[in-house]
Structure 1
Amino acid sequence: MPTSTTTTADLIFSDQANHNFSKTLGELKRSTLSIHNRLRSIEEDAAFAKRVRAAYGRPLIANERCGSWYIDPEEKAGSAYFKSTDGHTGVWKFSSRRLNLNLVETIGKNDGCIIIDSTRRGKNDTHMVQRYKSGPVSYRTPLPRFIHPPQVVSNTEHAQIFSLLQSFEKALKSLGVPLDVYKKQISKPLRPIWVTPDSDIASSPLVFEDFHPVICCTVSRRVAGGEFSEGGYIQGAGDDTENWAHGLTPRVFWANRESLFSTPEADLPDLISALVKKAAAEPVVGILPKLVEPTYILFVNRISGVAPIEESSSDLTIVLRSTITEEAAWETSTTRLDVGLGPHKLGSRNLRAALPFLVGFVEKNTPRLLDSTNSGRRIIIACETAKDLAIGLALTLLCLFFDGNGTFVGSASRRNIDKSFIRSRLGWISTSMPDANPSRATLQSVNSFLMERPK
């Protein structure tokens, strides 16, 4: 019987074979990262969030944007904004954009809270700090003790972070935030406790006598290889929604779970599109403009909460839209602008070019706003979310038209405006509207405009 000789060609894949192998891997990844698998994984992780809530007996706070996917809107008590890299080794900065001071009242009323988030990379039980016992911490001392989990943070890293605390305190005070108000809302120090699906969850609500617990809950089950898949389960499934969700939002998901799960994968994009359009067309009830304190006339709102155009309105209204329109069409009444800047980063960049027009419109209407007989006068700024473009314009007006007490003073200020001054005014917004989350591009447009204006 003839024998065959193995050649090099038999052992080495051809270029075409390598191409087909990569293509097969790509198709396999796309199939396992399907919309159905993501939504099922979100549902599984949300069930764990409920278990944590039952165990600790504290309200659920979503770390936006991802955290909202894992909380039924009926059970969501609020929002927080922490970047995924906050607290990583070497990433120890104080953020004036994300003060999260709205949590203080919630923590005081409920003796703590549970912040829900997920991760596409593994976090394990070594992050648990409730096993680390130490004496009580007092926020009343000039420099609070900094307690760290020794399993994760080395003594060297502890010392490096501790050395920055005074600079953080100085940065917070420079914003002019009324800290005494927040101190009155809590009775004990705050202390984090990390919880993951690998943690031992208590069977009944726990009592913490020496501190208010802030339970930092990562709902994602750890999967070897990161976010890929494990039997259809996807770690951190709620992340990167722009790549898979087709416009689906947590609220629409929770309201339509049954129809989403019962629809074939191939038909989901069309169903999601229909559900999103239906939700957008439904009348929104109870959306009220939010006052930027300490002013008494500057408000921010979502576009869906803005009244129709009225020539006789005493409000000065500026609506910033995600469609692009010509400047000549922006002034829709003597007291209103409808400004088409474009979506997302494009809108943020276009805001820079539009700011001279917008500031001029407010300046032109200062007599109306300063008229003491016009008791109902307001400046209302709106965008789709009331979190980005409208915040950028509100910040600009705060820097130009309001004094240190929040009083509208009329003509645009020619004072020397630097980043420190802008941050202090941004602090007003952060404390008045905790869910405000202006993008970096929006803030860059505002900074460039304000600091480059002729003095």
Structure 2
Amino acid sequence: MPAPTLADIVFSEQANHNFSKILGDLKKSNLSITNRLKSIQHDAAFVHEVADVLGLPLVANERCGSWYIDPQLKRSSAYFKSTDGHTGQWKFSTRRLNFHLLEVIGRNDGCIIVDSTRRGKRMPDALSKTIPIWCTVLNQALFPSHPQSHALHVPPTVVSSSEHSQMSSRLPFFLSSLLALQPDIPSLRQNIQKPLRPLWVTPDDELTPEMVDEIKVSFHPVVCCTSSRRVVGTEMSEEGYIQGAGDDTENWAHGLTAPLFWANQRQLLGTPEGDLPGLIEMLVANSEAGGQAVGELKKVAPRLLVGALSAEEKALTSSSQENVCVVSLVPKTTEKETWEKSKRHMEVGLGKSKTASRFLREALPSICDFVLRFLQECVDADAEMGTGTGKGANKEIVLLCESGRDLSVGAALALYCWCFVDSAGTVRSAADQGQNHNKASIRVKLGHIMTAFPDANPSRATLQSVNSFLMDWRN
């Protein structure tokens, strides 16, 4: 047996293995649930200070932003994706229009949009690029005679002059994509008195009211607030502080949500790390079992309402139940032959998550046929009574799914295109069966739905299923 070398003694495989394990354990302990919640609490204090100093309402860029705002101080939610601001992939989202923010901005002469990002970056792309593009495109659409507001403003310390130039060159295309949706420009314009101007705040900046006072003379300030301070090294050098601790909750939160955290933060922060998963499981179970009220229905288009499955009983037993058709998209797989429960109730078992979104494509022909039969029978009955308007007057379609924001919205979009001739709700007749659908017309209808229901969150897979069904020549 050869004599051991110096490398075998000092850097043996066993030593390297133990060293790697120690480093992994240290990293895991620094990224503990306790450290995440303490970091969120620390960053939330900064966010609330920004609101106090600037005197503007707080808006959470979902999902991460809600962790950093006390629910009692949260005025609204926004949906700006960082991927729409990634270098070379800049985009004005025609799915995430965020028109609802204009009312908040107009009433308060501005707002603060809160978000965070993980270690290494100074601010998320949603704040540095996606929101500036949104502000500029809306300025061009709503204030065409105000050329001073048409230039793109980005944080110069984050976005290079070259990237700024490339983003600016795409603005005409972004404006065209917005106008193609045929938005109600006069109605949107009534919400705000001045163009929008983004500006940026991080924990490294000095806060003063003067930051927005000068801008308010000619613009509504849209303050993009990064809640977490930048960590350049590793978390192990930060004494437990975690940048962007509210991100990637599926990897650490055990089902804990921002509202549950704010309602139970003292108990959560006072519980030993080893007991936290059990406590969180109990809080989540209690919330699901005891506390949730019947879901609210949201009207997204003429005669079309969406909501969560918790609203099913109320919809089926309402005083106007004969005028309501209910389609429930349930998170289990059921045979097609069992879907029709009555002439006005259909329960479609699609399963869960991406599987459900894919199965929606196969279920939409049955759903549209069921709803169209209900509507046409109502139109025929109205005609026999001499009250027909061609619209199935006073008839409503309720679409329900587990979240109330994904599958039900996709089904509503399909019905909006398939069952109605126009945006006024005129029911399609047999003579209209050959009408064509294309991506542009579908996108316009989706824009109507997202404007009416900003919290809607149809997944890409759900929308792909809808497009595939509507544009399939065999239909």
TM-score norm. by structure 2 comes to: 0.86
Q: Name which of 177, 180, 188 aligns with 1:182.
A: 188
CA distance in 2, matches of 1:61, 1:338: 36
Decide whether aligned partners of structure 1 residues 203 and 210 sit closer, same or farther in structure 2, where only a CA change above 3 A counts. Answer: closer
Instruction: Look up the match of 2:136.
Output: none
1:430 and 2:455 aligned: no
The question of whether the paired residues in 2 share the 8 Å contact of 1:229 and 1:235 is answered with: no
Provide Cα deviations, 1:357-402, integer angstroms capped at 9, x if missing partner.
Answer: 2122112212244354675421011122221111111111111112
Instruction: Quote how far apart the aligned CAs of 1:235 are.
Output: 0.9
* Alignment coverage as a number of residue pairs: 442
Decide whether aligned partners of structure 1 residues 205 and 163 sit closer, same or farther in structure 2, where only a CA change above 3 A counts. Answer: closer
SS at match of 1:191: strand
CA distance in 2, matches of 1:268, 1:453: 54
SS at match of 2:241: coil
- The letter for the 1-side match of 2:461 is A
Higher RCO (C-alpha 8 Å, min separation 6): 1
1:292 and 2:312 aligned: no
Tell which deviates more after alignment, 373-382 or 333-342: 373-382
1:200 and 2:206 aligned: yes
Instruction: Look up the match of 2:435.
Output: 415
Q: Name which of 304, 307, 310 aligns with 2:313.
A: 307
Instruction: Quote how far apart the aligned CAs of 1:331 are.
Output: 2.5
Instruction: Look up the match of 1:107.
Output: 105
SS at match of 2:198: strand
Tell which deviates more after alignment, 153-162 or 445-454: 153-162
SS at match of 1:199: coil
CA distance in 1, matches of 2:442, 2:426: 17
Q: Name which of 240, 245, 249 aligns with 1:232.
A: 240
1:216-231 map, 5 Å: 216-225=224-233, 230-231=238-239
Unaligned runs of 5+ in 1: 130-136
Identity, in percent, stands at 49
1:119 and 2:117 aligned: yes
Instruction: Look up the match of 1:351.
Output: 360
CA distance in 1, matches of 2:4, 2:234: 42
CA distance in 2, matches of 1:190, 1:350: 42
SS at match of 1:282: helix
Instruction: Look up the match of 2:52.
Output: 54
RMSD over aligned CA atoms reads: 2.7
TM-score norm. by structure 1 comes to: 0.89
Instruction: Look up the match of 1:7.
Output: 6
1:244-255 map, 5 Å: 244-255=252-263
SS at match of 1:98: coil
Instruction: Look up the match of 1:132.
Output: none
Instruction: Quote how far apart the aligned CAs of 1:221 are.
Output: 1.5
Instruction: Quote how far apart the aligned CAs of 1:145 are.
Output: 2.7
Decide whether aligned partners of structure 1 residues 323 and 23 sit closer, same or farther in structure 2, where only a CA change above 3 A counts. Answer: farther
Decide whether aligned partners of structure 1 residues 229 and 394 sit closer, same or farther in structure 2, where only a CA change above 3 A counts. Answer: farther
Instruction: Quote how far apart the aligned CAs of 1:316 are.
Output: 0.6
SS at match of 1:74: coil
Decide whether aligned partners of structure 1 residues 72 and 329 sit closer, same or farther in structure 2, where only a CA change above 3 A counts. Answer: farther
Instruction: Look up the match of 1:454.
Output: 474
Instruction: Quote how far apart the aligned CAs of 1:21 are.
Output: 2.6
* Structure number with higher helix proportion: 2
SS at match of 1:443: helix
Provide Cα deviations, 1:15-53, integer angstroms capped at 9, x if missing partner.
Answer: x33333332222222221111111111111111110111
CA distance in 2, matches of 1:342, 1:454: 25
CA distance in 1, matches of 2:160, 2:232: 26
1:273 and 2:281 aligned: yes
Unaligned runs of 5+ in 2: 130-138
CA distance in 1, matches of 2:237, 2:424: 52
Tell which deviates more after alignment, 18-27 or 95-104: 18-27
Instruction: Quote how far apart the aligned CAs of 1:157 are.
Output: 3.0
SS at match of 1:92: coil
CA distance in 2, matches of 1:110, 1:229: 41
Decide whether aligned partners of structure 1 residues 166 and 23 sit closer, same or farther in structure 2, where only a CA change above 3 A counts. Answer: same
The question of whether the paired residues in 1 share the 8 Å contact of 2:376 and 2:427 is answered with: no
Provide Cα deviations, 1:136-166, integer angstroms capped at 9, x if missing partner.
Answer: x882338623334444444433332222222
Instruction: Look up the match of 1:160.
Output: 166
- The letter for the 1-side match of 2:37 is L
Tell which deviates more after alignment, 162-171 or 181-190: 162-171
CA distance in 2, matches of 1:349, 1:229: 45
Decide whether aligned partners of structure 1 residues 47 and 413 sit closer, same or farther in structure 2, where only a CA change above 3 A counts. Answer: farther
CA distance in 2, matches of 1:334, 1:283: 32
- The letter for the 2-side match of 1:146 is L
The question of whether the paired residues in 2 share the 8 Å contact of 1:57 and 1:206 is answered with: no
The question of whether the paired residues in 1 share the 8 Å contact of 2:155 and 2:199 is answered with: no
Instruction: Quote how far apart the aligned CAs of 1:438 are.
Output: 1.1
Instruction: Look up the match of 2:133.
Output: none
Instruction: Look up the match of 2:465.
Output: 445
Instruction: Quote how far apart the aligned CAs of 1:413 are.
Output: 4.3
CA distance in 1, matches of 2:242, 2:155: 28
Instruction: Look up the match of 1:81.
Output: 79
SS at match of 1:73: coil
Instruction: Quote how far apart the aligned CAs of 1:198 are.
Output: 0.6
CA distance in 1, matches of 2:11, 2:399: 64
- The letter for the 2-side match of 1:446 is V
